[in-house]
Amino acid sequence: MDDVEIHFLTRAERERRWRRDIKELAKELIEELCPLMVAPRRSSAIPIEINALCTLHFYAQGSYQKSAGNDTNLRLCQSNVSFAVEEVTAALNTSEMLIKWICFPHTQVERGDSGYPHQPWLQTPILNAPDDSPEAKYILFHVWARSTVEQCIGLLKATFRCLLKNRVLEYAPFKCRCIVHACIVLKNQ
């Protein structure tokens, strides 16, 4: 693992990033979403900005849609919250957004260890590998990769409480997948 370098942010660096003006981040997100969403036609329709903020509230709080709508700044009924979550989630799941904000490693350098290239089939640890063997090195990298993935999932769950185990997304699997993708896009922005 000596030839693989991972940069983890220090607590101070994380705090500086989190202190970015939240209003500015919301504006940037809304500007990016506007071309991907249908603008309201009726004067009484809910603006895209409110739909986006309502959806962010739902993702972050992780409770039911009704409580997201009951926020003192939003005041939306559950059906409007449901529509907002569906519409914004769909916009965040467009190929344009997914390609821009979710990147998988494509080269050996991006993948890490060039001695063990990525294979298309499932890779599992090799039990009882002798010390200093290639299999032992493989196990070391496997454990490192799994730890990295678990850290990423933990960061997502800490940021987007709707993904927590005790706050089950009570939707069809396809919609759950879209919500997870949307949270990843938002986390990567």
At 108, is the pLDDT very low, low, confident or very high (cuts 50, 70, 90)?
low
User: 23-37, 87-101, 116-130: which has the minimum mean pLDDT?
Assistant: 116-130
Are 184 and 156 in contact by the 8 Å Cβ rule? The answer is yes
pLDDT tens-digit series, residues 128-154: 788 888 888 888 888 888 888 888 889
Residue 14 burial by Cβ neighbours in a 10 Å radius (0-12, 13-18, 19+): exposed
Mean pLDDT value of segment 79-108? 86
* H helices, E strands: number in the chain: 9, 0
pLDDT value at residue 124? 66
**Domain segments of the chain: what residues?**
18-188
Closest CA to 159 of 130, 181, 186: 186
- Give me the helix-helix angle, 22-33 and 48-61, nearest 10°: 120
Are 183 and 156 in contact by the 8 Å Cβ rule? The answer is yes
